Structure formats: structure tokens, C-alpha cells
Amino acid sequence: MQYKLRTPVTREDLAPLRTGDTVLLSGAVYTARDAAHKRMMELLDTGGSLPFPVEGSAVYYVGPTPERPGQVIGSPTSGRMDAYSPRLLDLGQLIMIGKGKRDQAVKDAVVRNGAVYLAALGGAGALMAASVKELEVICWEDLGCEAVRRLEVEDFPLTVILDAHGGDLYESGPAAYLASLA
């Protein structure tokens, strides 16, 4: 199935999604990689607040590359965020965007919070960049490509990898493929 979603999302918006479904995401998406996640944890540990509204938010684990003339963003990893993701999900983040397998603590937090993990197509950054309509650095410009940015996206194409019901496409996909060969 294909779904159109707009951020911020609710658990109810995400409940119908199943692994393998496609999502066309529109609205604000925040970028944050390793260094930004570390700073977000430091802020939270000292009683500070995050630099963007976390409730119902979508965070894309990407560090944009410089844009080409006429483009808003250049082309763009997820397991490295596993140590931070459960805490952000428990605070209300509902969408993670990246690629690669996630650990069990992240999977458990996805189910516990009614969240999803969506995959951006690897190697298709230039194609996906066409969905980005605006880009604004919102904090930690000193981090360069890892600064937190707010992207305004329209019909950003994504695939559901982890769903709120415990589905994991990295497990079910290969199993279904192998079963089809038997």
C-alpha cells in the first residue's frame, strides 16, 4: 500500500502502516546525525529542550552535501543512532528515516511508541532531493554537514522498514524471498 503523510504525525496516522508499504511524506523533516544526536542528549541531560518540536516529528539521519545550481539540497546511516533513538521516541518523535538495520532496543521503542522507521533509498539521493523544497539550518552550524536542518519536503518517497506492530522488513523480506525460491 502507499500512504501520504504530513508532519507532524500522530500514532493514529502511523497505525495502518506495515513493512514494505511506501510513504510519500510531506512537511517538516529534521536532519540529525551522530554529532547532533550527541548534542541533543547533552541538552536533555542538562534540562534543556531540543532545537525543534519533537512531538510527531520526523528525523532523517543525513548530512546534506552541497547543492548543485538550481537545487535546494545535495545527495545524502542509522545504526549509529541506536543509542539515542529510544529516548527521542519516548519523548514523542514518531518517524526515523535512514537505512540499515536497527538494534532490539530501537525496535522495542518503535512498538512501544507507535512509531515507524522509514528507509530512504540508498544511492537515490539526487532523485530524492527533488522532493526537498526548502532547507534551513536551525542549530549547530559549526557541525557543518551534521548541523540540524529543517527540510520542507513534498511527497518524499520512503519505504516502511520497522512498523508499530513489530514488523521488520530486514527480517521478513529475505525470509519471503527465500520462501519464494523453495
Return left, alpha or beta for 140; rule: phi > 0 is left, psi -120 to 50 is alpha, else beta: left
| Rounded Cα gap, residues 22 and 87, in angstroms | 26
Annotation marks residue 165 as catalytic: no
User: Of the residues 13, 17, 19, 37, which is catalytic?
Assistant: 37
| Rounded Cα gap, residues 135 and 61, in angstroms | 15
Are the C-beta atoms of residues 94 and 155 closer than 8 Å to each other? no
Are the C-beta atoms of residues 131 and 34 closer than 8 Å to each other? no
The residues assigned a catalytic role are: 37
